[in-house]
Amino acid sequence: MERKVAIVSHVQTKHSSDIGMPRERMLFNLVKELHNKVGITRHDVDSYVLCSNDFEAGRTISTVFEDTPVGAYMKDETKVEMDGIMALIYATMRILSGQFDTALVVANSLGGSQFRPFLIMEYQLDPTFDRQVGLINELNAGAFQARSYMDKYGLDEWFLDAISARLLRNGAINPYALRSKDDATPEYVASSEYYYEPLRKLHCYPFSDGACAVLLACGEKAKELCEKPVWIKGFSNSLETCRLGERELYTSPSTKQAAEKAYKAAGISDPANEIDVAEISAKFAHQEPIICESLGLFPEGSAEDVAKNDLAEITGKMPISPSGGGICTYVFSAAGLINVAQCCQQLTGEAGDAQVPNAKIALAHGQDGFCAQHNSVVILSSEEG
Amino acid sequence: MGRRVGIVGVGQTHHAAHRLDASGMELIAEAVTRAFDDAQITRDEIDAIVIGNMDHFENINYVDMWALEGLGAFMKPVFKVTTGGTTGTTIAACAFYSVASGLFDRVLAVGWEKNSESDTQAAVATCANPVLERDPFAGAIGPLATEYSMYMKAYGATEEDAALVAVRDRNNALNNPYAHNRMKVTVEDVMNSPMLSYPIKFLDMCPRSDGACAVIFASEEYAKKMCPRPAWVHASVVRHDYTHFGDLEWQWMPSLERASAEAYKKAGITNPLKEFDVAELYLPASTTGVKWMDSLWFCERGEAPKLIRKGVFNMDGELPVNPSGGVIATNPIGATGLIRVGEAAWQIMGRARDRQVPNVKKALVTGFGGCSWSDVIILGADLP
């Protein structure tokens, strides 16, 4: 990479199961807030990458009504229809190409109040084989994946309860989180109803309304626009097959491959020691260890040990999702971008009670698809390097 | 400042109204395999893939995840982009930026649509405001009929001017073995075809097709090795107009005026009519083949009918437009813009066979979609 790209600023909504306003108003308010925070107008932004989903919006070309409220009139705007972290990656490439100096990334969905994410996922199934049989949905596929991990490493359900409890407690100190409980215990999580054994209600993501906007700029411009730019040091993404039966669900080779490339770009050789904090997109509790292990942050099959020794706590050796992660908020289309925003807070020392001391290198993860079929990794740093 | 990017291979399906012999994934595989053959490479040599279509048309969400077997995308970085009618050019732009960023050397761009499995107009209608504008402007024809009516009133253009464009594009399609509608037509045929929405008649309007297109983009270093005459990307510009149809300017097209002006600036074009050797334009109806010539700065506003009547844009004219037959001959929507890019690239590479324009050095490509959204891409035989 000849050019350097940094995050100038970021904003997110107070996520909710019903945000109570039209999508256009939500986006207008959000981007206006970002403009005011940075002290710019829409004329200072060269390029826009939006991220939303036609199925969720119930409209073909979901961005038709989004580009005016975000200020993209007569601008070079495009749309990525994946997880929001991919919109950030595309925006970074647009700046690296030298064609633009700034890019605004905006991702949103109203999965809480408008269209249920489980239904959005139904339309992702193969239309000829899987969808018509009607046996597979996101929830039971998730349950299969949890069971696959438990069987592989001989674990019972306790680690799922412990992960959710930790994340719910983290959510309580995140002002943007939808769901939280400041005194959550594994017993409390285990008292929630089964959705699909072994997954209980509190092992699954809540349906969320929300949006996130991140402003990127090339190095020189970023330094002009803000005091503490967060530098994008490396990223990658990778895709597995959509045939669940052909995958080993207890592990995530696509995460592993994406991480290897991102680490190489960022010059990281020992991720578990070099990365200070990670925000992981886990839609279900069991996905957190599967993804973290593929990222090389914990040994394989270590979910129970990690929980027992508090390794993933904010005060632990390898803090995972201080924001509360996917168990507290999962804004479809925006989740990975929100992880990036949370990492930025950590790196600029603005994370409040959730602050990991001296965080310098952070990892943001995003995923799409059944059992995290597609995974993306972004490495961020407070130092230009 | 970024890397130079060239197109080194193109593949497309034989487009048709109903490709009953192939599933969506097989259509994708057909185009991808042909692009690999055209560039003489294999799947292993592809670093990243960009795919796009319109989700609602085939009712498949996250098509990148489902189509990976047809794409050859297993364990590769994949990007899914989509912007309605402009999807095809959006895909090309994303592939261009991916390579220009320095992160990938060879990127496969794929657009596709299987409209025979879709209720296309019903899906398109959902992009209009449901209360205010879905009734008058539902589907693609309403807005196009409105804008040409206003253009005719303002500048004295006629229905016959549009028919001349329809005759040009449809007869050009006879030279293109991949085209969906291949029929010899006359101005009388067009004028006598059934009225869809005044002043647009059946033979003025694009069809909906099954088909796919794949284009391979490569960095300067690789492009020079892979292709004797790559089509270099000189500019890629997008401009989006207001959302509501009622807010738009109808007698000219501000998004196309601004996108093309910016692209010409980037590519150093000062006299587009003279400097371009060929154009593959996203003209969804023959009427746009009249009206939008103004907005591409080929002439003053309102002067386009004169150029059309003189045959300036015919195969033997000053600037041949749509040697492939264009969108009114072939329209697999998510692929349509990418086919424009692929056809223009073939013109530069000298691989356009019966529809080849001699000695093409600079080619103009446009994409159209959304609510009067415009994409402009400029390709050239010389390094940018």
How does the average pLDDT of chain A come out, rounded?
Answer: 96
Among B68, B237, B371, beta carbon nearest to A241: B68
B2 pLDDT above the threshold of 90? no
In this prediction, what percent of chain A has a pLDDT beyond 70? 100
**Could you tell me the sign of the dihedral formed by the alpha carbons of A34, A37, A43, A44, in that order?**
negative
What pLDDT, on a 0 to 100 scale, did the predictor assign at position A130?
Answer: 87
Query: Which chain A residues touch B78 with a CB distance below 8 Å?
Result: 237, 239, 374
Q: Which residues are A6's β-sheet partners?
A: A217, A231
Identify the architecture of domain B132-206+234-379 in CATH: 3-Layer(aba) Sandwich (3.40)
Select A5-116+207-225's CATH number: 3.40.50.720, 1.10.3720.10, 3.40.190.180, 3.40.47.10.
3.40.47.10
B 330-369 residues with CB < 8 A to A: 369
Residue B1: predicted pLDDT: 57
Give the pLDDT of residue B129: 86
The residues, any chain, with a CB within 8 Å of residue B135's CB and separated by 6 or more, are none
Share of chain A above pLDDT 90, in %: 94
What number is the average pLDDT over the span A32-61? Answer: 96
- pLDDT tens for A148-183 read 999 999 999 999 999 999 999 999 999 999 999 999
Distance from CA of B373 to the nearest CA of A (A): 9
pLDDT higher than 60, residue B143 = yes
- Provide, as residue numbers in chain A, all residues whose Cβ is less than 8 Å from the Cβ of B81: 78-81, 90
Residue B206 in this model has a pLDDT that exceeds 80: yes
Q: How confident is the model at residue B210 (pLDDT cuts 50, 70, 90)?
A: very high
Closest CA to B297 of B318, B325, B277, B269: B269
Domain boundary assignment for chain B: 5-119+209-226, 132-206+234-379
Chain A neighbours among B 16-45 (CB < 8 Å)? 23
Q: Tokens 């050797």 label which residue?
A: B277
Residue A307's alpha-carbon distances to A160, A313, A336, B41, in angstroms, are 9, 9, 24, 48
The fold of the B5-119+209-226 domain, in CATH, is: Peroxisomal Thiolase; Chain A, domain 1 (3.40.47)
Residue from A4, A220, A239 to probe the interface with B (highest B Cβ count within 10 Å):
A239
DSSP assignment letter at B303: -
The pLDDT assigned to A355 comes to: 98
Is B108 in the A-facing interface, judged by CB distances under 8 Å?
A: no
Evaluated on CA atoms A87, A91, A93, A94, the torsion sign reads: positive
ipTM above 0.90, yes or no: yes
Chain B residues inside the 8 Å CB shell of A58: 126
Which amino acid is it at B222?
Y
Pairs of CB atoms within 8 A across A/B: 169
Amino acid at B122: A
The per-residue pLDDT for range B309-318, each reduced to its tens digit, is 999 999 999 9
A325 to A180, A322, A365, B47, B270: CA distances (angstroms): 11, 7, 10, 31, 53
Q: What is the mean pLDDT of residues B13-38?
A: 97
pLDDT tens-digit readout, B96-116: 999 999 999 999 999 999 999
Residue in chain B nearest A63 by alpha carbon: B83
Q: Is the pLDDT of residue B243 over 90?
A: no
Do B5-119+209-226 and B132-206+234-379 fold alike per CATH? yes
Confidence (pLDDT) at A116: 87
Residues of chain A found within 8 Å of residue B240, distances taken between Cβ atoms: 67, 72-75, 77
Give the best residue of A3, A56, A61 to mutate against chain B (max B CB count within 10 A).
Answer: A61
pLDDT at residue A46 in the model: 95
Residues of chain B contacting A79 with CB distance shorter than 8 Å: 81-83, 90
How far, in Å, CA of A19 to CA of A14, rounded?
8
Residue B138 pLDDT > 80 = no
E strands, B101-239, are: 106-114, 195-197, 200-201, 210-219, 231-239
Residues 6 or more apart whose CB falls under 8 angstroms from that of A209 comprise A13, A15, A16, A17, A18, A19, A26, A109, A110, A111, A112, A113, A114, A331
Contact A97 B97 (CB under 8 A): yes
Of A79, A123, A373, the CB nearest to B81: A79
Model confidence at B384: pLDDT above 80: yes
